[in-house]
Amino acid sequence: MGHSPVKRNTKNDLFVRAARGERTPLTPIWLMRQAGRTDPEYVKLKDRAGLPLERLFRHPELAAEISLLPRRIGVDAIIFFQDILIPLAPMGAEFVFAPGPVLSERLDADALSRLHIYDVGAELPFVPETFRLIRHSLDHALPVLGFAGAPLTLAMYLIEGQGVGDQADKALSLVAEQPHALRDLLNKLTTLTIDYLKMQIEAGAAAVQLFESLAHLLSADIYREFALPYQQQVFDALKGLAPTILFARKWSDLEMLHASGADILSLGCETTIAGARDRLGRDRILQGNLDNKLLAYGTLVDITDAARGCVISGGQRGHIFNLSHGLLRETPFENVVHLIKVVHETTI
């Protein structure tokens, strides 16, 4: 299957308009992890560079080149190539990727308490430089998105010391046994996250997304006490600077998502866009929400039907098409190209 052509030097404002809640002639689409492992051009570039991921993220020229790869298949926004854990290194917690994230030195309770906030501009200069290179290459043709990990998700990675799958026993034990220590850590991470996202907005991010990537491991009580208040602080600090998006993995409590204060809610596949608006209000701006497993394992017919249903559910008004979670490594690239084509061809 050939790649969809993209008009060059033509401003595409579909994402920006949808993020304002406007009706759009087409539903804009971008995909979490769109610049990465499912793209054969990314694999070639990474092999050619010969660098570990933690160095790729800190290499503005290569990170910008990777970020821009999805442009050729017709996405309506570019998200910069980075990992949510990289900003933790200047705090005193550096993750390396082998291939999943692992702390270079494990942190005990005392070490966690010594983690410190820092000047993001001085310590992370590669981030605004990556934005500069991306925006220069795009010449305003597409919006560029920024992102950060949510404070509780970052804290859980720090406590576990490695990538987190379907359990996080150490982190959840700290929640129960040392809630005051956890709150101290969350306060530092909230300050860092606010500073980090403000820097991205100043560098030209058209919108920023907060990833509560480990929400699926939390009880409602833990989410309410240790995730939500810190999300609220982040979004309150960014209010009016740029549109904000909340993604909470497999979190189906729509009212709790709404309470975060995010301008846009990125939904899992537990409900439809129209169904969420029935509960939250017809003008709620939403992102999502095709099942990422369907995209990886489904037939093209199944993907087409689900994508069209999602576009119709969103009504081409205040709806940004995305997945329930990031692209899975095993997702066929031709499925990604097909999805983008179907979304753009489906109109109401």
Candidate list 8, 47, 48, 114, residue with the active-site label: 48
Candidate list 39, 58, 135, 157, residue with the active-site label: 157
The dotted CATH code for 39-275 is 3.20.20.210
pLDDT of residue 9: 42
pLDDT of residue 108: 86
Assess whether 37 carries a catalytic annotation: yes
Assess whether 72 carries a catalytic annotation: no
Assess whether 83 carries a catalytic annotation: yes
Domain borders along the chain are 39-275
Candidate list 17, 72, 83, 224, residue with the active-site label: 83
Sign of CA dihedral 250, 254, 255, 261: positive
pLDDT of residue 174: 84
pLDDT of residue 172: 87
pLDDT of residue 6: 37
pLDDT of residue 2: 40
Assess whether 157 carries a catalytic annotation: yes
Assess whether 196 carries a catalytic annotation: no
**pLDDT by 10s per residue, the chain, length 348:** 344 433 334 589 999 999 999 999 999 999 999 999 999 999 999 999 999 999 999 999 999 999 999 999 999 999 999 999 999 999 999 999 988 899 988 888 889 999 999 999 999 999 999 999 999 999 999 999 999 999 999 999 999 888 887 878 888 888 888 899 999 999 999 999 999 999 999 999 999 999 999 999 999 999 999 999 999 999 999 999 999 999 999 999 999 999 999 999 999 999 999 999 999 999 999 999 999 999 999 999 999 999 999 999 999 999 999 999 999 999 999 999 999 999 999 998
Candidate list 13, 33, 42, 76, residue with the active-site label: 33
In the chain, what's the furthest Cα-to-Cα distance?
Answer: 57
pLDDT of residue 10: 52
Candidate list 37, 183, 224, 308, residue with the active-site label: 37
Please, which residues have CB within 8 angstroms of residue 283's CB and are 6 or more apart in sequence? 21, 277, 318
What amino acid is encoded at 59 in this protein? Answer: H
